[in-house]
Structure 1
Amino acid sequence: MDKEEKKRYNFFYEAKRPLPDADRKGVYMLHVRIAVLAAALALGLAQGQALAEEGGVTARSVFALLPASIFENTPEGLTAAEKQQLLTAGHSEFWEIAGETEDVLVFASLPFRDAAVALRLFRHVRDGAVEAAVGTLGGPVCTLELWRVDATGRAVPADTPPEPDVSEFLAPGQKLPPDVRATVMLCLGLGGLKAMPLFWTSTGMAHVPVANTVSYQWNGASFEKRVAPAEE
């Protein structure tokens, strides 16, 4: 085991160590959050399911087609053999299918279900192609891949929308504290994609109140950017 492998092993080992009783409530709430996200992603898909029945392209068939590279961003990972076991048996050593519709597949890690990955299809209404968004769920940091699958079944990486500037999340005149840095991530969201700001200082993560949310909603041909007031 080289130095980098040892560092990675130690990081994931520490992440999986049993938590003190005081922290178990937080882990439970993370499990609830993942379950809610999985259920919410599956809502409102009746139209997409009808199109899937006509065209034969489903989240399961697209998952079989795509590489499992998104799982490289999880402690558990996913080998080709484990991916095949997931498809045939519904579970592997470290993952299970936690929810499935024609347009959505949600995977939860085993045994604690403290990590999740989801695949969501966004269908083009004109040419039978789909945009397949694959992303990690439930954590403070997310990872997203976007693929385009045409009517012949050919899959190619697709460009994600450009990340918005962090100022779009802030109220007019609001400035970040001088010691706070920020970046913006694109994540899998409800009805489309969502942008998530991440704030940090030299000592760790920082909390900064935001005035707006930024999302990208699918309109049948592309993702439309929407900026809306953040919920209180």
Structure 2
Amino acid sequence: MNKIVLIHMIIFLFACNQANKNSDEPQKTKLESNLKRDALKEVPNKLESSKNNHSHNDYKDMKLLFSLSPLSIFDLTNDGLTLSEKKELLQKGESNTWKIIEESKTKLAVQNKNLSSIVTLYFLKHKDDLDGVLFSEVENGQNTILHSWKYFNENKTLQETTILKKYKASDFVSSEDKLPDSYKPILHYMFIDDQTIEVSVHTWMEKEFENREIINRIFLKWNGLNFDEKIERISN
């Protein structure tokens, strides 16, 4: 009799164990499904994060480019810049006579504390890599002067370049007011936004322009490899 009871108990326990095992399967399947769903949710976030990181790396740190630029770009300002002051600007954003007043992905502006001069760096990146062209624009009173360098990202170096097109005075006037090729105009190149330069001709106290009218405005827009030229007629 005891033997029979023992056999029934064994059968009962076995049946209970199977039932528990079967009931765990849906829970396990549900858990795995939730994990997969959560993982899929993370994919767009990771892709977005990767995209943002790539976008951030599409541009060079402007302070790095400033560190590579020569001190000589400040020679045309009233106070100049010493190497020790440049290090202070890079570390603290300010020195005894200069202060960084603007910094973005493509622009860094340093202003003299007596407000007499501003030196602005513009970086025009190549569309397919991290190379590009670095410009310095020096505003000193009424004068604006541009210098430019090719930037090579592989070895982090600058090489002086003259990438900007030279224009004749006749490019700014009508065909009737055309000037002789022997006349060498004073040209001004000035950034009007982070990617566009306006070219103008100096006419003040120039006898050649006493009876001539400027009818054209010339703009150079960076396209990722070079500048596209746009000439606009000045409306009367």
> What is the distance in 1 between the residues matched to 2:116 and 2:68?
26
Provide TM-score, normalisation by structure 1. 0.67
Residues 118/50 of structure 1: CA separation in 2 closer, same or farther (3 Å cut): farther
- The match for 2:199 is 195
CA RMSD of aligned residues (A): 3.0
How many percent identity over aligned positions?
A: 21
> What is the distance in 1 between the residues matched to 2:81 and 2:150?
22
User: Shift of residue 189 of structure 1?
Assistant: 3.4
Residues 120/139 of structure 1: CA separation in 2 closer, same or farther (3 Å cut): same
> What is the distance in 1 between the residues matched to 2:53 and 2:138?
27
- The match for 2:153 is 151
Conserved 8 A contact 2:168-2:185: no
- The match for 1:212 is 216
User: Shift of residue 196 of structure 1?
Assistant: 2.4
- The match for 1:31 is none
2:227 is equivalent to residue 223 of structure 1: yes
Provide TM-score, normalisation by structure 2. 0.66
- Write the deviation string for residues 149-170 of structure 1: whole angstroms up to 9, x where unpaired: 1121121112222221111112
For CA contacts below 8 A with separation 6 or more, give which structure has more relative contact order.
1
Relative to its length, the structure with more helix (as a share) is 2
2:69 to 66, 70, 80: 66
How many residue pairs are counted as aligned between the two chains? Answer: 179
> What is the distance in 1 between the residues matched to 2:104 and 2:54?
13
Residues 184/51 of structure 1: CA separation in 2 closer, same or farther (3 Å cut): farther
- The match for 1:106 is 109
- The match for 2:39 is none
2:165 is equivalent to residue 162 of structure 1: yes
Say which SS state the counterpart of residue 173 (structure 1) adopts: helix
Query: 4+ runs of 1 displaced by more than 6 Å?
Result: 49-52
Q: Any gaps of 5 or more consecutive residues in structure 2?
A: 1-51
User: Shift of residue 140 of structure 1?
Assistant: 3.0
Residues 230/117 of structure 1: CA separation in 2 closer, same or farther (3 Å cut): farther
Conserved 8 A contact 1:181-1:200: no
2:107 is equivalent to residue 129 of structure 1: no
Matched to 2:226, the amino acid is: S
- Write the deviation string for residues 160-212 of structure 1: whole angstroms up to 9, x where unpaired: 22221111112342367xxx984213333322322121124489xx8975221
